[in-house]
Every structure is written in structure tokens, then in C-alpha cells.
Structure 1
Amino acid sequence: MTELNDDHAPASERLKQLAEAHGVSTEYWDFHGRLASPNRATLVAVLAALGVQARTEEEIESALREHDIAPWRATLPPTVVVRGGGASTVTVHLPDGADASLRVVLEEGGERPLAQIEDFTLPREVDGVLRGRASFGLPADLPLGWHTLVAEIGPAQGQPASSATSSLIITPNHLDLPASMGERGWGAMAQLYSVRSRESWGVGDADDLTEIASYLGDQGADFLLINPLHAAEPAGEMTPSPYLPVTRRFINPIYIRPEAILEVSRLSGPRRSLVQWAAEEVQESNLNAEPIDRDAVWKAKREALEVVFAAGRSYSRQRDFERFRAEQGEGLERFALWSALTEKYGPLAQWPSTLHDAESAYVANEAHSLAERIDFYAWLQWIIDEQLARAQAQALASGMALGIMADLAVGVHPRGADVWSDPQAFAPGVTVGAPPDMYNQQGQNWSQPPWSPVRLAETAYAPLRDMVRMVLRHCGALRVDHVIGLFRLWWIPEGRSASSGAYVRYDHEAMVGVVLLEAYRAGAVIIGEDLGTVEPWARDYLASRGVLGTSVLWFEKQDDGWPLQPEAYRRLALSTVSTHDLPPTAGYLADEHVELRERLGLLTDSVDHVRAEARLERERMLVRLRDHGLLEEQPTERTIVEALHRYIVRTPSALVGVALVDGVGERRAQNQPGTDTEYPNWKMPLADGSGEVVLVEDLPGNVRLASLLKAVREEMGQGS
């Protein structure tokens, strides 16, 4: 064998061919506008993560031959994904001369035989046997859904008859906006944990969500976008970022309001006192604007929840719990088991090595001994599911067209429940990040393992389906963070810098199709966060499927650097003034985004240069507002904020979002990209411009918020 050992050597042409064949891009445009290429070592490592060995010239040639012949070995592809409403073709590989039939077993019952169509493809020799190909037509009237293909192969060339099955997914061609929304809609955006009431337990929760949504619905809003509610660590230190969860399928029970659980009303006096005492430990923090302490909140809340759980349930309530548990199946049981093991042993790195394999007999023994704790963690999911259902029902009852808009993070914690429960779903030895850009010149490593595109196809995209289906249970819209991740992700081999990665392509037709199918069934709208480097064709593709994009006023500029005119915005988009990765608008206007980065040492250019750019950006925006008659000569901070929102309402965008922080005059950023412990990311409770806490009960009487919402309604043509 000829092994190539120079890690910095460029990739050979044959290695590039192999990489491209497996969906690994061998070229990309860097932030300087130059065409860049991953080196040999990067491509070898990324291919290894895909299960392809390419360390030597011999392995490369062998892998190329295998890739060419592999489809002929399989009778059917592992998964077939097609759009509904159009005819398509499925190919079957079989021994040369054999007869074949193909039928569809429909998800809702019944079967449809498929007609064979002419296919003049010549047979090929595979492992010493000639194999041919037969093609069958999929009719255009097959229903949307998750179906099964069944192939029956007759005997030939001394080989017995056989059969094979494959998954068939029929997806919507296009997702329409709901008729209830009309031509356009508007709504609010909030970090739920930050918006607390006097009765909260130190963080905003499902009860607060219900109240906020009901109030905004009465003000004419169509949706309330909140941060991801994905589950975090159940014990030990809880990761503050909602974008680094341990699972994206299940919910963080920190959002439960204990007193809203039905069983609390039936507790005995002493037990109810225990719940109240636990609440009192953390409720004082609702009244100060200091960073939120999730660990203290969860400690108090878990103590109370354990009291409620131990009190038991009525027969009918227990049956409801059991039905929920059966419906969620093995996924919920695995998550609850992981939670119980984490509670017992700490983080995964501290577990006995025998427990690292979720399928092992040691884990089965632990599951038996931890049965009661598993019940508890499954019960928490049932309770939060009930409370979120109530929030969505109340949001719709208040007049919202969409109700709650959920947020889907791009990935999960490398040592979380998803990776432990189903490690084969993730590519080994790599993490996800971003190549170098003007803001992060070393690139970014998000420390999140990517899904394996190979495994996704083999499992009929079950991890994606189950996750999206669960997130969409109680909401009318879903924002998909870093939606380009459905197309391609930057894979970084372990031990290498973030700049030493490569883009790996996913089957976006299948990935987007699965998301649309689940959204169609839930009656939900999909919004893709497509900020940053996203190829125009990808945006066009998403728009053609009915997926809305994301436009942020400060980022939308003409080629000359001036703000984009309102009429030039996209129709299929959620347009906003700001985003959670920037300070609220009041802080942005005061250059807080510059001052904060200077204090934290994050600037790559001189602070004077960055300040000058920020001043120019602001001055141009004010000129644009005056051009549109939206600003008086001596504007106040409040009138500028309102004018900016009137500006985006004048765009043709289907959805317009108003950040709750802008409504109350908050100035502090929720998140500063590029930092970890240097800044209290994802911990800031809602406060006004003077640093005074704003509670849920304060929202209806907040003059500044009322004025902003009135301005939005007037521009939307809803009157005052």
C-alpha cells in the first residue's frame, strides 16, 4: 500500500472525485472571495466520518469502484423521497432475467401496485453475477405521507425468489401560508426564560407564555416567536444556551409552572406547603435584573415537581400519561433513562464505561433499578407538553393566526441524550462549525456532532421526522436556525482547527421535504434562518417550496451600503429590525454592539474604525427614514425605534416581527457571539432602559410597548 502522510498536501484528483461522489465539497469560496480547497488530510478525515476509507491510493481506487457498484447490489434504495402531485420513477435492481413486481403499502392502509415502464439499461456484473434493472412509475395521485415500497423478485440464474422493502416518503411540493393569516401577519419575539411574572420561579415558563401570547393576541398579533425550548442537563450545571441542548426532540422541564399541574390542587396541606416553600426560594429573583440563575431555579422547581409526582394521579390522569408515553415510544424512554443516569452519575464523561452503549445489558440493568426515576422524567415531558398545549390553545383563542412560533436549534450537545441514545445517527470524529469569516477569522467550532447523511437515508430520516413532529405539536410556525444546515454543514475533523474543515452536502430535497411534510400535517408555517453566507440558489429553492426566509433590517443593504428600500425586501420572509445576536434596538442605536465587543476584546479592526462604520450605518438609516416621512427632525430614541418598525412593516414581507425588548426599551444584548463565560449570554431578564425589571403583569400598562404596537398596527392597516 502507498500511504500518503503529508497532512498539508493538496488532495489528488482521484481523492477529489471520491469526495464529491460522497457529497464532500472540494471547493468553496472563502470570505476574501477566493476559491479555496480542503487539503488531503481534511478530505481523508471527513470521508472516514462517512465510513469511507481513503488513506492510500489503493483505498481511494477501491472506494471509487465500490461507490459505482453499490446501488446495483441493493434491490431498492434505502429511502425514496418524492414530491406529491407529480409522476416519478423507482428503480429495482435484480438478477438478470428475473421478473419483478413493485407495490406501495400506504401509511393509512391499502396497497397500490405499480406499473413497470421500459428501461433499456444494460445489466452489470456484480460480485460475479449479472444484475439488471427494472423501473416502475410512481403515480402522481399517491397521498402525502410515509409509505412502504415492497419489491417481489422471481427466481433467476439459480437464485431463489426474494423480496425487499424500502421507505417511500411523499412530500408536499409547496407549503402555503394559512388562510387564517390573510395576506400578511405580524407578531412579537421574546426569549421566554427572560420574561417573568411575580409568580414565576425565576424564569419565564409555560404559564407566562400563555399570558404573553393572550395579551399580544388581543393587540392584533398573529404569532409569538420564542427561543428553543429544547431540554438541557437534568442535573449538575445547566447549559444556559438554548442553542446547545442535550436533545432537540424533548422539552426543558424548567419551563413547567408547578402550580398549574392539576394534581397540585389535590395535594394535602403539608405537601402543598413543600411546593410553596420551594417557590419562595427563587421568586424574589423575579424582581431584580441580575443574570438568571438556572441552576438555582431548577433545584427549587425539581424539588416541588418531585412532591407533585410522588402524590400520584387519578385513574384517568394516569391513563393520559400512559397514552402520551406510548405515543412517544422508545425515544422518550431513552431520553428519560439518559436523564436518570445523568442524575445518578453526573455528566457522561463520569459514567462507567459499561454504560456508554445504550444497547448494553449493563444499561438494561440500570433501567430496571432506575424505573421510578425514569417514570419521573417521562412524567415531566407529559406535564410540559400539556402546559404548552394550553399556551397554544389560548394564543389561538386570543385571535392569533399562528400562535406560538417555535425555534429549532441547529444541533445538540456532543455528550447529550441524542448522541448517547442513537450514536449511529451522528458522524463520528467530526464536529460542526463555520469557516473563517470577517468576524471570526479563525473560523468557528460549535462542538456539535453532525447527523450522518448516510444514516439518515438508511433510517428513512426518522431522527429528523421525530424531532420536527415533536417540536410542532403545539405551535403554528417553526423557525429553523441555520436552515442552510439542511443543505450542507461545515465538518471539522477532531483535533484540527475550525479553518481545516470541509462542507458536506445533505440531500436537501429529502431533508426539506420531510420538514414540509410534518409542517403540512401540523398546519404550520416554516421560516428558515438564512442569514450570513447562503447561496442565492438555496434561497430560491426554499422560496419555491414555501419556506420563508429571514431579513434583519441592519443586514439588508444595497450594493452601495445604503439600507435596502422597503419594496426591495423579499415577500416570503420574516422581517425584523433586530435579532437576538445583536443588542436591542435602543442599545444598537447607542453603539452598544461596538462598546461591548471592545470591552470583551472581540474587535479585529480599530475601535475608532468600527465606531465610524457604526455611525455611518446609523446616519444612513436615519436619512432613509426621513426619506419615507417616518422621522421628525429632532427624534427621540423611542420615535426612532417606532420609525424603524414602521419601515419594515412597509416591506412586502409576509411576516413582520417586533422584539419585546424593543417594546420596553431594553438595551442589554441576550447573546454576544464569540463569547462563552466572558458575557452572561442567555441570562438577561427583561428590563427597561433604566435597568428596571419588566414583568408579564407590567406589559399591558407599559406605555412604550403600547405605543410601538400601535405604530405597527397602524402601518399594517389594523387601525389603532
Structure 2
Amino acid sequence: MDADAQGQEFDRPSAALAQLAEAWGIATGYWSFFGDWVEVPATTLRAVLRAMDVEATTEADVEASLAATETAPWLELLPPSLVVQAGSGEVVVNVADHHDVSVAVALEDGSWRDVGIPDQAPASRVVDGARVWGVRVPLPADLPLGWHTLHAWQKRHGSGEIDREAACALVVSPAHLPLPPGRPGYGGRSWGLMAQLYSARSRRSWGMGDFADLGDLAAVAGSEGADFLLINPIHAAEVTSPIEPSPYLPATRRFLAPLYLRPEDIREAAYLAPDERALVDAARATVSRSNTDPSRIDRDAAWSAKRAALEVIHAAPRSPGRQRSLDAFLERQGAPLADFALWCALEEHYAATLPPGEERPAEAWDIGSSLVSGLRIQLAERVAFHSWLQWIAEEQVAAAQAAAQDAGMRIGLMHDLAVGVHRRGSDAWSLRDMYAAGITVGAPADMYNQQGQDWSQPPWLPKALEREAYRPLRDMIRNLLRHAGALRVDHIIGFFRLWWIPTGLGANAGTYVRYDHEAMIGVLALEAHRAGAVVIGEDLGNVEPWVREYLSARGILGTSVLWFEYEGDGPKPPEHYRRALLATVNTHDLPPTAGYLAGDHVDLRERLGLLTQPVEEARAEAQRERDTMLAVLRERGLIGEDATEQQIIEALHLHLTAAESVLLGVSLVDTVGERRVQNQPGTDTQYPNWQVPLADSAGAPVLIEDLAANERFTSLTGAVDGALRRIARDRGLA
């Protein structure tokens, strides 16, 4: 009998409970990061099933739920939705005994295609005393890519009378996405800049980087030869204080953060009356001085100032053409935008009317309640304001992408898609039925987090996604790619499985829940294909080997970080990296390379009490890692014995250019010598995560206007650009 760490008897699930869990995609065991097989206790399985609205309290409940689960598919004529790869796929139509069936596809262009029913000996099952036949119907191999509708009609033998019909979404996705477009002369490869947008400020910023700065940074990088600019997620956060600093814990992933707007760049701002313009200038003056403060980004102050200015601009009249553009945007975005804007208005309403610490009425958390319906009318002006903000945000992101392309970038903006959303945010509120109640996602224990991780985000319910034909996923991706050339998907393993943690059990007491990766990757691929965009999956960590092979087969690039890549007892040679890859020296969860080389990460973890080993031992390990890497650089002739910090950082990037990987990322922090980490995993308030403005090695602020003349910036970007072109020439690929 197994026992847990406290010596208690292991809560082993019954065979029926384990079977029920597996039927719902819930893992009853898994391989840990450390190579051990871990069995999942019954308590966890029951809690996860409960979150899926599957009754499993008693063994009688389990038996009843298992029977219902096995029967449920046979009760439906068609599945809830169907996602297939182009040129393949079939649908199982469940037809009653003594009936025929006909099937057709309504294409999204309005035309129809009949689907033939082949001769076969279908499987069958007796349901409620009647036999049902599972007829397998191959789909036409020449169906076009797109969002179609599959129809089925059940007809009585002999009479042909239709007594049942059904329809479901049919998504046909590309089997494979093409590799990214390389700039001529680079041998099919590209490099780009990676930046935390909020940290990249200019003299015209409002205390933090914004969409205007995004366009300027893209133009600077493009002029140096970069083909893309990867930025942190710019999903919308709170509209009241305190604003969550982490871009990976947004209120919604479907809409953009007005926090990044540049008020003066709105067309109507140019026609303000002098007194109105004075109000805008006065608002900016309250935060503009902080543009040169290297200590900390203050999102709350920036938003307070911007909101005051934006309200003035919103009240200004729009030309007929501008109004028509706004109206068309609102119509295109429809109910999802109206619901998000209402959430913003409700947040403001309760922040202004409730005493600190007092909870809003329970009905306020139900979008369908009469209370919310009444507030939708009462707060109509604020709903209109927040809807307008999204129109402006889309305009400004479009301008930034245009600036990137004008500077010669083949890809341009590369957005980052967060894993999930805040449990009290807009998506969790307006799409409440899509999320599992009483569950958060995270990760089991690994060498860096021995207690596991809880990311405080509710997971999507797999069955709800299927029922909604994955439209929430589609809309999210479609909005992000409307004005971008690429999408990085953080923790893309979440499209395959997520670590679910029942509330109160602790991060290590969770288990994996499987998702229909064929469907989710199919939707991602279709939307990327339609946008002409590249997709990069962050596939680091504890990943099943077949997953990387599957993603590569679908044309989705992987991710490699130099410090994480090992082969045998030493660093993996870049020549052994995958081709379909975004390769980087570091990542936002590591210190900038200058800080890493100096061992700042060990000092910081010691100061914050995060070390799980003696500090001398941690420092020695870090020193050995650096010495090993420096030895590799010396063996390749990339540095001498007395190389400076700047020379080592450039050498690490030149070392990476030897990889065949189609994309190479260069962190903005590495181009200026910044040493401070943007995010220290395992901390909350102990460290200013996601609030560190861009500075150089001496701690002086670095502004976007100064990059083109910054010696370290031009030296590193020039070295990477020159190396890629030289390698292409040497290989006869230029």
C-alpha cells in the first residue's frame, strides 16, 4: 500500500473511479519531472470531476456517471463540433435503427456540398432499449479551409420522412504552416528583438512604454536588420487600481490593454479646443517626469493620467468617416466587446460605490442576472467609453505593425499569448460556463519549484470548448493576429494538457487534464494561416517527446533557450538545435545575460529567501555553469581569456547563430547591458516583477530615442545581423 509524505494511507481510487476519470481526460498517474511515476489520489480525481459537473461522490455515483459517460455520444446525431486537417477527416453519425441518414456541408461562402455515405458495417449500441448505429462518414478531401457547418438528416426507411436533424461546426485547418519568410540574403533565417513593452520608454511616454513606443522600437530594430519584434502579452488588465503588473495574468485575452494607448496620437486629439488640450497636457505632466526614473514602472499612476486624458478625447466630436469606422468596429466585435466593456464599467462602478473591503452583490458576478442587465443600461456611457478604447487600441497597434513593415521587417510584431486569465477578470466573468469552478492551473514540482506552482488561473473546460466549437479560442487568436505577423504561445503544452489544482489541496496535489489538441492546434493553425502569421510554441519544461514532434509536423516552431539546452554532460552544440525553432540566449524568467554572468540571480534568490540549498553551493553551481559555457566560447574562438562582459554577451549570440534555427531572438535588455530580472519566479510582493524599466549596466535609464546611438545596442545587433548574412553567403544561400 502506498503512503504519502505524511505517512497516511494512500487514497487509492477504485477501478471504476479511475476509468471515469480517464474517460473525462483526467490523468490517474503521470511521470514527474524527476522521472518517477506518481499515482493521483481519489480525492483529487473526485474534485476535478466535480469541477466538470460529473458526480463522483460515492461509488454508486461513479457507476452511474460512468454509464452516462459511455452512453452520451450515442444520443447525439452529430458531435458538438468537429475540427479536421485539410484532405482528411470523418464524422460519426449516430443513426437510429430502421433509419437512413444524409449528410451535407454548408460552406462558409454560402455554397453546399453533399457528402456520400459509403457501404459499411457500422458499430452499434443499444441505448434505452433501442439500437443505434454509428455510421462513419468520410469528409470530402477537397473541402476548403474555413469555418463550415456540417448537417445531418435522419430519415425513416421507406418513407424518407425526416424525423431528426442536427448541425455542428466543421473546422477545416491546414495540415502544416509554412516556415516564416526570411529576409533576402539571410538564407531563409531571421533574427528579431524581444522586449517588455512597458519597460521600453521614450521621452514622449506617459511613464511606461506604449503603442507609439512599440512602433518606434520596431522601426529602430528593423533598420538594424531585425525581422520581428516579440513583446510581452498586451492583453487587457484591470481598469481600476491596483492594476495587476503581470502581463501573464490578464483580465481577458480577447482584448487589448488601453494602458498602452498614446492619447496624443488619437486623431481627435489634434482638434481639441485649447482648454481641452490643456487638460490632456496637464494629465501627461503628472507622469512624464517618471520616464527617466530607472527604479520602477507605476502602472496605476500611468493609467490614472491616461484615463483622464482619454475621457477628454472621447468626448470630442468625430468626423462622419471616423464615426462610421467606429460603428463598423463595434459591429464586428459584437457581444464579446460589449460584455468586456460592461465588465470594465462594473469594475469602476463598484470601486467608486463600495467601501474598501466590502464585496459586491453575488448577482454582480452573474452576467445574466437582472442586476447586471440593469447596470448595463445605467452604465451605458462608460460601456461606450471602454468600447471606444478598444477601437483606438486596434488603430494604434495597426500603426505599430505598419511601422515595423515600413522598416523592412518581414514578420513585424510578434504577440505573446498568455496561458490563462485572472479568476476575477472579464473572461472568467462573461464566459463563466467555459471555466472550471474551484480549480486553478499551474505545474507540479520541478527542480526550480519543489512545492509546485499555482498560477491562480481558472482552466477552460474541455467539453465546454468543444460545445462552443472553440470559438472563444478562435476569437482570441483572430484579434491578436489582426495586426501582427506572428504569435508566441506561452506554455503551448496547455493546448495538450494542463495541471489542474483543486482549491485547498496545494499545487502538488493536482493532476493533468487532457484537451483535444487536434482541435485546438487546428483552430490555431487555421487562424494563423488566414492572417499569414508564424506561430511559435513555448515548449520548455516537462514536455512529452511526441508533443514537440507533433507541433513540428504542423509547422509550429518550438523554443530553445541557450542556458537550458544540454546534451550529455555539457551544453548542446547549436548545430544540434532543431530548425523549426525560435532560439534565444535567455528568457524573461531569467536575469538578463549581464546579470546571469555576474551571478546576480543567486544573490537575489538568497536575499529573497528562495534558495533551497546553501548559498555557497548555489554560487559554485552558477560559476561552474558559466565556466563551462565560457570554455565552449573559447574553444570556438569567439572570446579571448580576458573578454569583457559585453564581448561575452556578443559571443553567446554569435555562438547561437551557428544553429540552423529559422528564428533567433535577441533580448533588448542584452543589447544595453541591463542586469535586473523582469520576473523572479516564486515571488509576489517581495520583488517588483514586471515593473522594471529598461536601464544600462550602470543603472541609468535607456530611452528608445537613444538606442540608435547606443554603442552596445548597435554592436550586438550588428554582430548578429552580420553573422547571419555571412553564414548564408558561406553556405551559398544568400
**TM-score band, normalised by shorter chain:** over 0.9
Three-state SS of the structure 2 residue aligned to 1:174 is coil
**Match 1:288 to one of 287, 290, 293:** 293
Deviation string 1:271-291 (CA, Å, 9 cap, x unpaired) is 001000100100000011011
Deviation string 1:455-495 (CA, Å, 9 cap, x unpaired) is 00000001111111111111101010001000000101111
C-alpha deviation, 1:122, in angstroms: 4.5
Residues 560-639 of structure 1: pairs in structure 2 closer than 5 A: 560=569, 562-639=570-647
Q: Which residue of 2 aligns with 1:363?
A: 372
C-alpha deviation, 1:351, in angstroms: 2.2
Q: Structure 2: which amino acid aligns with 1:470? A: N
Residues 57-76 of structure 1: pairs in structure 2 closer than 5 A: 57-76=59-78
Separation (CA, whole Å) in 1 of partners of 2:608 and 2:116 = 66
**Match 2:416 to one of 407, 418, 436:** 407
Q: Which residue of 2 aligns with 1:387?
A: 396
Q: Which residue of 2 aligns with 1:148?
A: 149
Q: Structure 2: which amino acid aligns with 1:232? A: A
Q: Which residue of 2 aligns with 1:191?
A: 196
> Could you list the runs of 5+ residues in structure 1 that have no partner in the other structure?
1-5
> Could you list the runs of 5+ residues in structure 2 that have no partner in the other structure?
1-7, 730-734
Deviation string 1:204-234 (CA, Å, 9 cap, x unpaired) is 0010011110111111100000000011100
Separation (CA, whole Å) in 1 of partners of 2:582 and 2:94 = 45
Separation (CA, whole Å) in 2 of partners of 1:46 and 1:550 = 31
Q: Which residue of 1 aligns with 2:527?
A: 518
C-alpha deviation, 1:706, in angstroms: 0.6
Which stretch of the first structure deviates more once superposed, 489-498 or 710-719? 710-719
Q: Which residue of 2 aligns with 1:113?
A: 114
Deviation string 1:48-106 (CA, Å, 9 cap, x unpaired) is 112211121111111221122111100000011110023x3211112101111000000
Separation (CA, whole Å) in 2 of partners of 1:173 and 1:132 = 30
Three-state SS of the structure 2 residue aligned to 1:20 is helix
Structural RMSD (CA)? 1.6
Deviation string 1:102-136 (CA, Å, 9 cap, x unpaired) is 00000111000000012312432212322223232
Q: Structure 2: which amino acid aligns with 1:241? A: S
Contact 2:122 2:136 in 1 (8 A): no
Separation (CA, whole Å) in 2 of partners of 1:81 and 1:586 = 46
Identity %: 54
Contact 2:182 2:189 in 1 (8 A): no
Contact 1:95 1:157 in 2 (8 A): no
Three-state SS of the structure 1 residue aligned to 2:586 is coil
Q: Structure 1: which amino acid aligns with 2:489? A: V
Q: Does 1:701 align with 2:709?
A: yes
Separation (CA, whole Å) in 1 of partners of 2:430 and 2:627 = 52
Separation (CA, whole Å) in 2 of partners of 1:556 and 1:660 = 21
Separation (CA, whole Å) in 2 of partners of 1:449 and 1:56 = 26
Separation (CA, whole Å) in 2 of partners of 1:659 and 1:122 = 56
**Match 1:491 to one of 495, 500, 510:** 500
Contact 2:330 2:387 in 1 (8 A): yes
Q: Structure 1: which amino acid aligns with 2:82? A: V
Separation (CA, whole Å) in 2 of partners of 1:595 and 1:179 = 42
Q: Which residue of 2 aligns with 1:125?
A: 126
Q: Does 1:217 align with 2:222?
A: yes
**Match 2:344 to one of 339, 343, 364:** 339
C-alpha deviation, 1:27, in angstroms: 1.1
Q: Structure 2: which amino acid aligns with 1:306? A: E
C-alpha deviation, 1:7, in angstroms: 9.5
Residues 32-431 of structure 1: pairs in structure 2 closer than 5 A: 32-86=34-88, 88-155=89-156, 161-179=163-181, 181=183, 183-346=188-351, 350-431=359-440
C-alpha deviation, 1:157, in angstroms: 11
C-alpha deviation, 1:658, in angstroms: 0.4
Which stretch of the first structure deviates more once superposed, 29-38 or 669-678? 29-38
Three-state SS of the structure 2 residue aligned to 1:133 is strand
Contact 1:202 1:283 in 2 (8 A): yes
Three-state SS of the structure 1 residue aligned to 2:526 is helix
Contact 1:19 1:43 in 2 (8 A): yes
Contact 1:101 1:151 in 2 (8 A): yes
Q: Which residue of 1 aligns with 2:474?
A: 465
C-alpha deviation, 1:632, in angstroms: 1.4
Three-state SS of the structure 1 residue aligned to 2:226 is coil
Three-state SS of the structure 1 residue aligned to 2:483 is coil
Separation (CA, whole Å) in 1 of partners of 2:123 and 2:137 = 16
Contact 1:96 1:156 in 2 (8 A): no
Three-state SS of the structure 2 residue aligned to 1:715 is helix
Contact 1:192 1:227 in 2 (8 A): yes
Separation (CA, whole Å) in 1 of partners of 2:633 and 2:27 = 43
C-alpha deviation, 1:600, in angstroms: 0.4
Contact 1:93 1:132 in 2 (8 A): yes
Separation (CA, whole Å) in 2 of partners of 1:349 and 1:582 = 39
Q: Which residue of 1 aligns with 2:21?
A: 19
Separation (CA, whole Å) in 2 of partners of 1:122 and 1:424 = 33
Separation (CA, whole Å) in 1 of partners of 2:293 and 2:333 = 39
Q: Which residue of 2 aligns with 1:481?
A: 490
Contact 1:95 1:156 in 2 (8 A): no
C-alpha deviation, 1:361, in angstroms: 2.1
Q: Which residue of 1 aligns with 2:453?
A: 444
Contact 1:155 1:162 in 2 (8 A): no
Separation (CA, whole Å) in 1 of partners of 2:38 and 2:513 = 15
Q: Number of residues paired by the alignment? A: 713
Separation (CA, whole Å) in 1 of partners of 2:121 and 2:678 = 61
Give the TM-score taking structure 2 as reference length: 0.95
C-alpha deviation, 1:312, in angstroms: 2.4
C-alpha deviation, 1:643, in angstroms: 0.1
Separation (CA, whole Å) in 2 of partners of 1:629 and 1:664 = 24
Contact 1:178 1:523 in 2 (8 A): no
Give the TM-score taking structure 1 as reference length: 0.97
Q: Structure 1: which amino acid aligns with 2:655? A: Y
Q: Structure 2: which amino acid aligns with 1:471? A: L
Separation (CA, whole Å) in 2 of partners of 1:563 and 1:349 = 54
Q: Which residue of 1 aligns with 2:659?
A: 651
**Match 1:674 to one of 659, 675, 682:** 682
Contact 1:412 1:418 in 2 (8 A): yes
Q: Structure 1: which amino acid aligns with 2:124? A: P
Q: Which residue of 1 aligns with 2:4?
A: none
Contact 2:419 2:494 in 1 (8 A): yes
Contact 2:182 2:188 in 1 (8 A): no
Three-state SS of the structure 1 residue aligned to 2:400 is helix
Separation (CA, whole Å) in 1 of partners of 2:274 and 2:199 = 32
Q: Which residue of 1 aligns with 2:3?
A: none
Q: Structure 2: which amino acid aligns with 1:18? A: L
Contact 1:249 1:467 in 2 (8 A): yes
Contact 2:153 2:162 in 1 (8 A): no
Q: Does 1:547 align with 2:552?
A: no
Which stretch of the first structure deviates more once superposed, 655-664 or 23-32? 23-32
Q: Structure 1: which amino acid aligns with 2:150? A: L
Three-state SS of the structure 1 residue aligned to 2:399 is helix
Which stretch of the first structure deviates more once superposed, 331-340 or 626-635? 626-635
Relative to structure 1, is the Cα distance of residues 30 and 178 closer, same or farther in structure 2, using a 3 angstrom cutoff?
Answer: closer
Deviation string 1:29-66 (CA, Å, 9 cap, x unpaired) is 12332100110110011111122111211111112211
Three-state SS of the structure 2 residue aligned to 1:134 is strand
Relative to structure 1, is the Cα distance of residues 61 and 507 closer, same or farther in structure 2, using a 3 angstrom cutoff?
Answer: same
Separation (CA, whole Å) in 1 of partners of 2:687 and 2:467 = 42
Q: Which residue of 2 aligns with 1:3?
A: none
Three-state SS of the structure 2 residue aligned to 1:276 is helix
C-alpha deviation, 1:8, in angstroms: 5.0
Deviation string 1:218-272 (CA, Å, 9 cap, x unpaired) is 1110000000001110012100000000001111101100000000111000000
